[in-house]
Structure 1
Amino acid sequence: MNIADSLRDHYVREFPAEAARVVEREDELPQELSTLSAESLTQLLEYSDPGRLTSLFLSLAEEQQSRVLQLASIRTALLILRALAPEQRQATLDALPGRIRTEYSELLEFPERTAGRFMDRLQARYRVEQTVGEALAELRRSKTQRVRSLYLVSGDDVLQGRVDLQDMALAEPDTPMSELLNPVSGVAFLTSTEEDLVKLFDASRSDSIPVVDQEGKLLGIIRYTNLFQAAEEAATAGIQRMVGASADERALSPPLFAVKRRLVWLHINLLTAFLAASVVGLFESTIAKFTALAILLPVVAGQSGNAGSQALAVTMRGLALKEVSTLQWRAVLSKEVQIGLINGTALALTCGLGVWVWSQSAGLALVIAIAMLTAMVMAGIAGALVPMVLSRLGQDPATASSIILTTVTDVAGFLSFLGTATLLSGLL
């Protein structure tokens, strides 16, 4: 490796996030970076946009691919493997050492957002019969970073407890690790859900949780930072999915990558917009006779849309945090109907007064007041029921709730306003 290669390797290793942003501007990994060490390439992929991760990985030589998968975090490795075509995935797995190949094959079978997806593989095993000096030497050889405690196992790999690094640092090198052993406050299994893990971390107040099998054998470790990152990604992905953007898209993702994922939902939104427009078309004659209705129509639709979004956000948060379940839909619906009645009444009075001052028409003020109250109640009902129904059907509420809600609130707003105006046309 010449001086230029050494400098590139050092830059990528020390500033992986910045290097990843530079590389993402290219269609594939630049030829100059093919000489990077496997460690630096792994760092580069760890910080890369998930939308570009697979293409960057495939631009590596086969030997580099195998080495990167051995060094990468489980999260990154699984993102890569799951994005490959079945034939490519099998060929890539076959090139890995037997133990790691088996591990990844098993992890690929686990559902999303379970402990098997969050845990770090064991870089070394620390046993109760070791001394402090032997355990520290093993830790140095493993090059594991950001560790505050070690988990000890027996001869048959059954978890025995944990030892704090601070206690090891203060102990003599020949001190048996068994003398420093502390009990483990909680363990996770491969199928433990993200909610289970959050509860474990909250109860144990620890920086990590061991993952064991049914026999108590240590399989891996979940770091708090890994779970926090996953929860953060899930939250931001939910925000993106609510507006029809892909969870994999990032701010600097390639335009075509973003277009392919957004365009379908934009077409769906277009169809729902035509549905709302057709409702307006039903009252064409009424609008032609009373042109003021066209001016005030967005007011009712806009207010009902905002009210529906508020109810939707609160309901989805309650479902995500397990504050409510779909079995409690009646209680949630009752609450939102009450809120709609109170807010709708207040807004109806305010809006009706404003329209009366503007138009000097008591009939028009009455129409928009009735429509505002009706639309607000309908928006609250939609905001509560849409995520509940989607969850009950086994769908992700974040994926389609926003588009469905927009359609419902628009149609409800248009129908309530124009329908009321048609019924009370004699007062206009």
Structure 2
Amino acid sequence: MTECAQALASHYLTAYPKEAARSIEQLPQTVVADLLSSLEPVQIVPILNALPAMLATPVLMAMPAAIRRAVIEKADRNRAVPLLGQMSSEQQEALFAELPAGLSAELRTMLNYPDGTAGRLMDTVVFSLTGEATVGRALELLRQRDPDRVHFIKLLDSESRLSSLVDVRQLAFNAPETRLSEISRPVVDVVSPLDPREDVVRKFEEHDMEELPVIDVDGRILGLIRHSALVVALKTQSTLDIQTMVGVSKDERALSPSWFALRKRMPWMQINLLTAFLAASVVGLFENTIATFTALAVLLPVVAGQSGNAGAQALAVTMRGLALREITIGQWFRVLRKELNVGFWNGIAIAITCGIGVFFWSGSIGLVLVIALSMIIAMVAAGIAGALVPIILSRLGQDPAVASSIILTTVTDVAGFFSFLGIATVLSGML
């Protein structure tokens, strides 16, 4: 009978993770941890995703280290961030030590937001529950918290997205069995973690709020910014601005000394020069072909220009996705597949248009075939480069905003020149 009950419980937890989460969130965390530890890591992830991060994090930390590591590895990176945010710095470091180096580095990066953004101002420890939770349950959990850090309970919907708020003062005036959703109020405003500090200040001034929720692109709460923390940050920033004016900064600013800017920029300018020579050397390999068929010199910039534009589009979308945390480094293959597909069909469409124009200009079927084939290859290569270059640079700890364009230009030029002139050499008998 016991084995049968365990089998039924395992099936219920696996088949209905959201309903299971609502059922077990009332249980002690150690009991939940023991219950989930009997499942496979891939089965645990959906249940933890359905639990509020405030409840899921202690359950995760109560699991054996091997299971905890496997769960984090299986979890979506964006879902892992709210769980990590609920941990103390000591817990985070202990967990990072358990994980593979690459995954630890990626999660650290996702937890560290740029200076001057909402993510740097937020407190990641958030008191959040589902609307189905009762006043009695909320009071029970509140007694375990620092009263100075909880003013509003954040209510989550079935997808763990922020839906409404409950003022903790309302708990004293309602029966223990009252559901939190019955005494909730709408969320006035939110910010994303990459929003600039100026937007945070403006929203606080507009709504006269005590705290401002910070959510990710899917609407899940990452943390909150308290008015008091914002005031402290603004005072600190005013000091940093004075330092910047006299050049005391690790990064270049508009008023940084010229020598500082030169040291930051010159290495990349030298690299750009080398890559330009690399692209020129590709053209030099086909010097005889160009001398024989001068029409190739006229069309060469067309291929390079189109592939450069295609690469820039893929680069911009990928860098924006990384900056807004819409994608993670671990999703590189999905990004690559999408941009490869876009590059291929863009190349087909551009090749048809370009081929028609070249035919009316030259009357050469061979030249049309050369420009069409090389355009498809160059556009695909540009899409691949635009997707992978910023991801690889981010993985290596480099700033993709500084280096991506230089590397992308090299790849698109080399791919465009080599494909166009290489195909022209192979099909020279048709020109």
TM-score bracket, shorter-length normalisation: 0.3 to 0.5
TM-score (norm 1): 0.46
